[in-house]
Amino acid sequence: MRLVLLVPWLWLGASAQDFTLAAISKIATGYRFTEGAAWSKDGFLIFSDTAKNQLFKWVPGHAAEIFRENANGPSGNVFDAQGRLYTCETRARRVTRTDRNGNIEILAERWEGKRLNAPSAIAIAKSGQVYFTDSAFGYQSDNRELDFYGVYRIPQKGPLQLVAKLPGRPRGVALSPNGRTLYVSEADDHRVLAYDLDRNGEASGERILIADTEGVPGGISVDEAGNLYVAANGVSVYNSEGRLLRTIPTRDPASSVSFGDADSKSLFVTARGDLYRLRPGEK
- Domains of the chain are 3-280 (2.120.10.30)
Q: Are 50 and 11 in contact (CB under 8 A)?
A: no
- Tell me if residue 173 falls in helix, strand or coil: strand
| 199 membership: H or E segment, kind and range | none
Angstrom CA distances, 231 to 103, 115, 166, stand at: 31, 28, 20
Element (H, E) at 196: strand 191-197
| CA–CA separation, 227 and 222 (whole Å) | 5
CA neighbor of 167 nearest in space, from 183, 151, 181: 151
Distance between CA 78 and CA 75 in Å, rounded? 10
Q: Collapse the DSSP code of 39 into the 3-class scheme (helix H, G, I; strand E, B; otherwise coil) and give the result.
A: strand
Average pLDDT, the chain: 91
What is the C-alpha to C-alpha distance for residues 13 and 97, in angstroms, rounded to an integer?
A: 38
DSSP conformational letter for 140? G
**pLDDT tens digits, residue range 111-147?**
999 999 999 999 999 999 999 999 988 777 778 999 9
**Is 238 exposed, middle or buried, given 0-12, 13-18 or 19+ CB atoms closer than 10 A?**
buried
Is the CB of residue 26 less than 8 Å from the CB of residue 47? no
Q: So what's the pLDDT on residue 279?
A: 87
Closest-CA residue to 49 (of 63, 27, 78, 69): 69
How many residues would you count in the chain?
283
3-state secondary structure of 96: strand
| Residue type for position 201 | G
By the 8 A CB rule, do 195 and 180 touch? no
Burial letters 83-105, b for 16+ CB under 10 A, else e: ebbbbbbbbbbbbbbbeeeeeee
pLDDT at 2 (0 to 100): 44
Q: Which residues pair with 166 in a beta bridge?
A: 149
184, 170 contact by CB (below 8 A): yes
CA angle 222, 228, 232 (to 5 degrees): 115
Q: Are 222 and 177 in contact (CB under 8 A)?
A: yes
pLDDT in tens, the chain (283 residues): 344 433 433 333 335 666 555 678 999 999 999 999 999 999 999 999 999 999 999 999 999 999 999 999 999 999 999 999 999 999 999 999 999 999 999 999 999 999 999 999 999 999 999 999 999 887 777 789 999 999 999 999 899 999 999 989 999 999 999 999 999 999 999 999 999 999 999 999 999 999 999 999 999 999 999 999 999 999 999 999 999 999 999 999 999 999 999 999 999 999 999 999 998 865 4
Q: What angle do CA 261, 228, 152 make, to 5 degrees?
A: 95
